[in-house]
Structure 1
């Protein structure tokens, strides 16, 4: 096994120094490559240097947070403009963030539908979407992973939303929250004397 090291500290354009695997550089030029300013000035997709892995991760997390914050602002504006009802769910759904995620999914889907010609009236789609207030429906049927894995588009969104609204209407018609009282006028009491 060779004693020539493969990992050398290199300087990045962010000013940080971090060890980098230079095993692909010929052994006779590794030390020289590590001391050069290649990673600070020439490397990277734009040819203007690279940031260290720590700064790259921090930047990516900041970009993701900024994207999600902007998406939530867009979601709230859309819900207000189109009079979308609040999504409902269990306490666990609230604390886990599923309702917030479902709100973003609903916005993303409806925004894409309204931006494309689907052959269905926008008011019809929005009315159907307003009837789907259970956050779990949006997360299960039109969540981000589902949409990307199955490569759904506006036509599939319209079909799922209209079908979901029709199923919701059937369920509302069969609402079982109004309990039917027993037709038997006699109460059963195990302690009563038999006659």
Structure 2
């Protein structure tokens, strides 16, 4: 009897074939997992390239809309930019395109107000609020909405304690993310 292989050649949706180690799956699930990857996923390199392109597109869209850079750790900022832009798009569709709000009012009550909210954490924390409620949410965003920008890297200090990496802020550090 031949053992069920742990490494499988997967022909991804992008057309690339990648050998994947599935030894972490029970033997009876490896073939199904390999089929699922082949049917539903691009190879890791194509997925990374697609994510980078989407991130660049979101950042360009945010810049076009005059949205400021968000403050937080890299992962939180990347996620929050996606949330913010989708929030703004959906809000525009639900408010302006359905004639609930005049475009000029949307400009002041949503876009200008959104420009003041610079904490990545705020966008993440409020991601499940209905988009039609965005004007009300932005009218009183709360104390954690406006993040303090990280301090510029200081000159080498005379203290023997190592300095934290410049600009590094823990996502869970509530004070730093305010």
How high is the TM-score relative to the length of structure 2?
0.49
Higher radius of gyration, 1 or 2: 1
How high is the TM-score relative to the length of structure 1?
0.46
- Greater helix share, structure number: 1
